[in-house]
């Protein structure tokens, strides 16, 4: 997040449509009325969670025909100071950082500065010595050299064999935790040092042979830094956030924006209990820029990113990403068009992985789901504090939800939200 002048009003031009402001349509205190009456059911559902004390505040928007047709905020940023959630409110988006980093990688690919088949060790030599887990645990772990190196494409699709310590399902997960990496890298560890740490630990499996959600996007962020010669944050600010007018998105919250940062709450506590930042250092200017989950953003900023994707890379006055690169981003990249449920080591997920393929930066529904309301072609991802988005590129539709309820699994509402939005979209086109 830089000190750029804030975007003035809604965007217009290729890839953007007219945008309602963040009116509180539930309480009726705003000046805008929802243009999709059925979308008000979502407002009421979220408002009820606030009334029940399960959620402090929320912000959301819905897109149809590639433009924002409903936008609402409710509740408060902080239960003590009672500042209302509005268009200025900033949220920790955690893993919704990953789609932005995926776009950054494809942007460099469009410019001929890297290829997705490139081995990561070509940019980060420490990964040349990384080995694959064979058996054992702790100090008795046995490893072997990989048959093929980790590529950028492997990292983009969580098929590199990297992991997170918080999975707690494999001896390698335990090695990550023993090295100080659970949800986050050890506090104060710079990104280059974190990459050297991960490279020193075994891979769960031979690259490209299975799926496991991992630190791959943090590694990709470091690759970007090596390629462009600046920090990840500087590159994103110059090449993505600036052109899109995402003035309130970044790895740090400057002093003048701190009053707008929503408080993070323990979603499993009753009453809700404020907790410190988990996995983020948003007030520490010297900390690293972690591409797996380090960004903060606003609803309107992230909408601009979604509109760019729905417009196949078009932005006002030009093209941010080649249309074919957007198509590449949102399609399934698992071998044989398989889903995650059949190809990898799945993790806890409210929406499940049935019929869900791995795209770049998020997942894509490749077959009708038996466990959620996701429709074939839906692309999106969420953050561990409850933020969640998806788009349907073919229909030009989508939705975004911004919450600060950690961890998201303690407030399992995504399936219901997805269904309510689908119903509203269907009503709009009935």
Cα–chain-centroid distance for residue 43?
23
Answer for the pair 218, 102: CB distance below 8 angstroms, yes or no.
no
Residue 186 DSSP symbol = P
CA 52 to chain centroid: 27
* Domains along the chain with CATH numbers: 38-88+252-277+298-429 (3.40.710.10)
pLDDT at 22: 39
* Least confident stretch, 6-10, 140-144, 195-199, 347-351: 6-10
Task: Name the band, by pLDDT with cuts 50, 70 and 90, for residue 17.
Answer: very low
Residue 286: the pLDDT is: 61
Told to judge if 213 belongs to the known catalytic residues of this protein, a careful annotator would answer yes
pLDDT band at 10 (very low <50, low <70, confident <90, very high): very low
Asked if residue 351 has pLDDT above 70, the reply is: no
Query: Residue 405: enclosing H or E segment and its boundaries?
Result: strand 405-406
- What's the pLDDT tens digit per position in 232-274? 999 999 999 999 999 999 999 999 999 999 999 999 999 999 9
What pLDDT sits at residue 2?
A: 53
> pLDDT digit string (tens) for 280-311?
667 776 667 999 999 999 999 999 999 999 99
User: What is the share, in percent, of the chain residues with pLDDT greater than 90?
Assistant: 80
Mean pLDDT value of segment 76-102: 98
User: Residue 216: its pLDDT value, please?
Assistant: 98
Question: With bands split at pLDDT 50, 70 and 90, how would you rate the model's confidence at 428?
Answer: confident
Instruction: Find the range with the poorest average confidence among 17-26, 62-71, 399-408.
Output: 17-26
Which one of the listed residues 11, 59, 64, 95 is annotated catalytic?
95
Active-site option among 59, 98, 325, 369: 98
Q: Which has the higher per-residue pLDDT, 25 or 333?
A: 333
What is the model's pLDDT at position 344? Answer: 83
- 297 included as an active-site residue: no
Q: Is 313 left (phi over 0), alpha (psi -120 to 50) or beta?
A: left
Give the per-residue pLDDT at 430: 63
- Averaged pLDDT of the chain: 90
Instruction: Give the pairing of strands 314-315 and 296-297.
Output: unpaired
Q: Is 164 an annotated catalytic residue?
A: no
CA pseudo-torsion sign 284, 295, 187, 131: negative
Residues 6+ apart with CB under 8 A from 102: 156, 217, 220, 329, 360, 361, 362
Of 176, 213, 217, 360, which residue is the catalytic one? Answer: 213
pLDDT score for 56: 98
List pLDDT tens digits, range 116-132.
999 999 999 999 999 99
């Amino acid at each position: 997040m830089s000190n750029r002048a804030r975007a003035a009003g809604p965007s217009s031009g290729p890839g953007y449509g007219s945008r309602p402001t963040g009116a509180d349509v539930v309480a009726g205190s705003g000046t805008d009325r929802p243009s999709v009456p059925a979308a008000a059911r979502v407002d009421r559902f979220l408002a009820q969670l606030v009334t029940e004390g399960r959620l402090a505040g929320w912000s959301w928007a819905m897109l149809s025909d590639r433009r924002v047709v409903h936008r609402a905020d409710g509740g408060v940023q902080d239960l003590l100071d009672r500042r209302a959630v509005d268009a200025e409110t900033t949220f920790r988006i955690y893993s919704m950082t990953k789609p932005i980093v995926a776009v950054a990688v494809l942007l460099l690919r469009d410019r001929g500065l890297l290829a997705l088949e490139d081995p990561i060790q070509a940019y980060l030599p420490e990964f040349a010595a990384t080995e694959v887990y064979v058996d054992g645990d702790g100090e008795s772990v046995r490893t072997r050299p990989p048959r093929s190196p980790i590529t950028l494409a492997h990292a983009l699709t969580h098929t590199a064999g990297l992991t997170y310590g918080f999975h707690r399902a494999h001896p390698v997960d335990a090695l990550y935790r023993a090295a100080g990496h659970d949800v986050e890298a050890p506090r104060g560890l710079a990104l280059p040092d974190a990459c050297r740490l991960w490279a020193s630990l075994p891979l769960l499996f031979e690259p490209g042979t299975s799926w496991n959600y991992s630190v791959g996007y943090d590694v990709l962020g470091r690759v970007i830094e090596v390629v462009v010669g600046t920090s990840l944050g500087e590159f994103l600010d110059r090449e993505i956030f600036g052109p899109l007018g995402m003035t309130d998105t970044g790895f740090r919250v400057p002093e003048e924006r701190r009053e707008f940062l929503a408080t993070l709450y323990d979603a499993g506590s009753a009453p809700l209990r404020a907790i410190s930042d988990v996995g983020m250092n948003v007030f520490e200017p010297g900390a690293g820029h972690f591409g797996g989950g380090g960004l903060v953003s606003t609803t309107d900023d992230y909408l601009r990113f979604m509109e760019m994707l729905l417009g196949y890379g078009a932005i006002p006055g030009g093209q941010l990403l080649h249309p074919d690169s957007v198509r590449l981003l949102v399609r399934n990249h698992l071998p044989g068009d398989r889903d995650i449920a059949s190809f990898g080591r799945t993790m806890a997920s409210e929406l499940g992985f049935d019929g869900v393929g791995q795209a770049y930066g998020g997942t894509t529904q490749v077959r009708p789901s038996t466990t959620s309301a996701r429709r074939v072609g839906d692309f999106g991802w969420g953050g561990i504090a409850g933020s969640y988005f998806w788009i349907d590129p073919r229909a030009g539709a989508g939705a975004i939800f911004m919450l600060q309820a950690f961890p998201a699994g303690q407030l399992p509402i995504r399936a219901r939200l997805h269904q309510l939005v689908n119903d509203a979209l269907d009503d709009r086109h009935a």
